[in-house]
A = this chain, B = another copy of it.
Amino acid sequence: MTGRGNLPERVTVYEVGPRDGLQNESGVVPLEAKVRFIDLLTEAGLPWIEVTSFVRPGAVPQLADAENVARAIERRPGIRYVALVPNIRGMERASGARLDGIALFTAASETFSRKNTNASIDETLERFQPVVTRARDQDLWIRGYVSTAFGCPYEGDVSVNAVSRVVRQLVDLGVDEVSVGDTIGIATPADVVQVVSAVVDVVPLEKLALHFHDTRGTALANVYAGLQLGVTTFDSSAGGLGGCPYAPGATGNLATEDLLYLLNGLEIQTGVSLDRVVEASRYLAGILGRRPPSRYYRAVA
């Protein structure tokens, strides 16, 4: 008995550190450091890297240098570089940035959507329409995020039906992948089984990604549950960067190192070098002046 069971042979790791991780950093990281960090992630072989966000510079000063980041990073064949695009103005800025794809961000919780994007869920989806059209014209790959899919910091429980509805709307809009996210890190495998079982009715498994936060230590258990259900794309952030900056010591995004350690142990192919991801995290730790929360990182670095 190998212990692998009926798990996928291969998994896609989608790296969100440069965008989702850095956007929560209060001190602005210099452009050169961001570029070096992304280049190290490229060297690690991460197949998808979300490098920045074309949000309004005043809203997230950390990512105000989006054009410059996209211009300066090294590209390698086979690696896709993606940026978050909130609306058509962001899309205009992104258009000249030599990206492979864009990501759109909405939520399963109405209150979270309003607080986070100043728009109802339906309004965010209306905003996406012209963005998707423009992205299609430019042959860009499109991802849609459904945040707070497992719970909301304002509303608490979020119904599986609410999640399915938004996932279906994104699929109808024409996105290539939907990333269903546990924004507050509250999910356990029972929730993963429930949510995945529901959304596979509206999105094919191969277009579904799961995005976990390790706030309560359950992220890898949730990944394992997702793998058993046939999910083959998982989001993670080098070093575990990001999440909730207001809870010191509490971690946010699942660390890429921890995810890779699990996948390696399960003999699932990723094409990513765990050692080199640690190097990327170590570099950024020097810039930020603190150790990343990744458990694997802390065990070895």
Contact = CB atoms under 8 A, between A and B. Distances in A.
Interface of A: 1-5, 185, 187-194, 197-198, 214-221, 223-225, 247, 249-251, 255, 258, 261-262, 264-267, 291, 294-296, 298-299
Contacts of A192: 3
Nearest to A295: B217
B193 A3 contact: yes
A3 B194 contact: yes
Contacts of A224: 189, 221, 224-225
Contacts of A251: 295, 298
A262 B218 contact: yes
A275 to B, nearest CB: 14
Nearest to A249: B298
A189 B262 CA distance: 8
Contacts of A194: 1-3
A53 to B, nearest CB: 26
Contacts of A265: 187-191, 218
A298 B250 contact: yes
A238 B225 CA distance: 25
Contacts of A295: 214-217, 250-251
A299 B298 CA distance: 19
B3 A216 contact: no
A221 B299 contact: no
Contacts of A215: 295, 299
A83 to B, nearest CB: 28
B296 A217 contact: yes
Nearest to A188: B265
A264 B258 CA distance: 23
Contact of A3 (B4, B190, B255): B190
Contacts of A214: 217, 295
Contacts of A291: 249
A266 B192 CA distance: 11
28 contacts: A1-B194, A1-B197, A2-B190, A3-B189, A3-B193, A3-B194, A4-B193, A5-B190, A188-B261, A189-B265, A214-B295, A215-B295, A215-B299, A216-B258, A216-B296, A217-B217, A217-B219, A217-B255, A217-B296, A218-B265, A221-B221, A221-B262, A247-B299, A249-B291, A249-B298, A250-B295, A250-B299, A251-B295
